Amino acid sequence: MTRWVLILSLLAPGLYILDYIVYFAGAIILGENLHDFNNIMGYTVWIPAVVALAAWLLGIVDTVRRGMWGWFVLVLLVPVLGGLIYSAVTLRTQQPQIA
């Protein structure tokens, strides 16, 4: 589950950035007639928001399940960045050592 937290924590900001790039590119192309375009782009912002919410919830569930209460507080108070830090650090410590 920690791997999913990492993937979703990286994916959410990337989708936000992509959404803004598409919005500004569309605004430049369309010029002044942005009413319908704004309505459509208003709905696309929900996609990265749902991904960020999923990363946050999975991070909370994973820390509670493992009993890592310090990480739980971090993930709870700093949603996307806390989940990213938690998953990156715990994945690094979980990898087996090769002799």
- The residue ranges of every structural domain in the chain are 2-94
CB 83 within 8 A of CB 5: yes
> Whole-model pTM?
0.81
Show the DSSP H helices in the chain as ranges: 2-30, 35-44, 46-66, 69-77, 79-94
Residues 77-91: pLDDT tens digits? Answer: 998 899 999 999 988
Length of the chain: 99
Residues 1-49: pLDDT tens digits? Answer: 888 999 999 999 999 999 999 999 988 888 888 888 888 888 888 999 9
**Residue 64, helix vs strand vs coil:** helix
Q: Which two structure tokens, joined as six digits, stand for 39? A: 């309505």
